[in-house]
Structure 1
Amino acid sequence: MALMRRRDPFRDPFGEITTLREQMNRLWDVLRPGFGFRWGAPIEAATPRMDIYQTENEVVAVAEIPGLESKDDVEVTVTEDSLTLRGELKRGYEQQGEGIYHAERYYGSFSRTVGLPVEVKPEEATANYRNGILEIRMPKSEAGKRRSVRVPVH
């Protein structure tokens, strides 16, 4: 006798996908222990981690990009409402394939675009790279500056 399962109309529609991902992770752990790959994990290693904050007059982005050989290995593009970082991290050695014992570091091209909280002046943006940290300063446009006006009550 087969066990009949009634379909719950309020069940999570992605529950089966989540279960499949968990099963794939367990299988991967068995096949390649210690490799570090996780199904469904974000590709964080391929994109710089970034903090963005704003002051009264500017928006500042601080990105971690360790391993750049020079500041010319990163391209910064600013529009009125977005910031894009592109570049390439190069391996400092030529060893590949079977000679690698353990590899965790990311090498290769990266690209990341983020929206900005307010409108900025792209032509006045500046960027500095030092000790693996890229800092981008973007002055706010007049539209992006928050103004406070006291309104009299009559």
Structure 2
Amino acid sequence: MTLVRRDPFRELSHLRHEMDRLFDYVRHPAKAVEGIGMEVLGPRVDVYQTEREVVVTAEIPGIEAKDDVEITVSEDNLLLKGEVKRGGEIRQENFYRTERYYGSFSRAIALPAEIEADQATASYKNGILEVRMPKAAHQKRKTVKVDIQNKNI
């Protein structure tokens, strides 16, 4: 009878390796990480805010029709769902290398401020989707400087 040594932490080690690969992609998206594409992470986005609005831009090249992307906005969340279709009649077995992603994607983005969802607008140009969302009225606060009242300073 042969005894096989079992490492109970092997699966945890494998999981850690996969998580490291995922976070490497997030930290360094220009670095090639095999096996991680838009189907896992969704399109890459930038989120910023001004005094009056929250803006999200997303890289989604290959969108040809409005129906290819569904944009859903709530007070604190933006959901992008869609499909990038491969153009032409190229059969899969004819590819030597394929790095661009085709297929379905979904990405939920937490917003940094509450917004007026019914006033959101979107535009698409050169592979970039831009969603502009005005901040809710109670979010438009001014900044006030507060003086320290301690006499020891």
- TM-score, reference length from structure 1: 0.69
- Contact 1:71–1:129 (Cα < 8 Å) also in 2: no
Q: What is the CA distance between 1:44 and its match in structure 2? A: 4.1
Aligned-residue Cα RMSD (Å) equals 3.1
Decide whether aligned partners of structure 1 residues 73 and 14 sit closer, same or farther in structure 2, where only a CA change above 3 A counts: same
Structure 2 Cα separation of the partners of residues 153 and 16 of structure 1: 50
Q: In the TM superposition, what are the counterparts of 1:55-134 in structure 2 within 5 Å?
A: 55-134=50-129
Structure 1 residue 99: deviation in Å?
Answer: 2.2
User: Runs of 5+ in structure 2 lacking a partner?
Assistant: 1-8, 22-32
Deviates most, 105-114 or 43-52: 43-52
Q: Which residue of 2 aligns with 1:45?
A: 38
What amino acid sits opposite 1:106 in the alignment?
Answer: Y
Distance in 2 between residues matched to 1:95 and 1:73, nearest whole Å: 21
Distance in 1 (alpha carbons) for counterparts of 2:46 and 2:125: 16
Distance (Å, rounded) in 2 between the aligned partners of 1:76 and 1:55: 21
Count of aligned pairs between the two proteins: 126
Q: Distance in 2 between matches of 1:103 and 1:129?
A: 25
Q: Residues of 1 paired with 2:140 and 2:37: CA distance?
A: 32
Give the secondary structure class of the aligned counterpart of 1:143. helix
More displaced 10-residue stretch of structure 1: 116-125 or 71-80: 71-80
Q: How far is 1:149 from its partner?
A: 4.8
Identify unmatched segments of 5+ residues in structure 1.
Answer: 1-12, 26-35
Which secondary structure does the structure 2 equivalent of 1:91 belong to? coil
Contact 2:85 2:103 in 1 (8 A): yes
In structure 2, how many angstroms separate the alpha carbons of the residues matched to 1:110 and 1:131? 19
1:148 corresponds to 2:137: no
Identify the residue that residue 13 of structure 2 maps to in structure 1: 17
Structure 1 stretches of 4+ with a deviation exceeding 6 A read 150-154
Percent identity reads 52
Report the CA distance between 1:142 and its aligned residue. Answer: 1.8
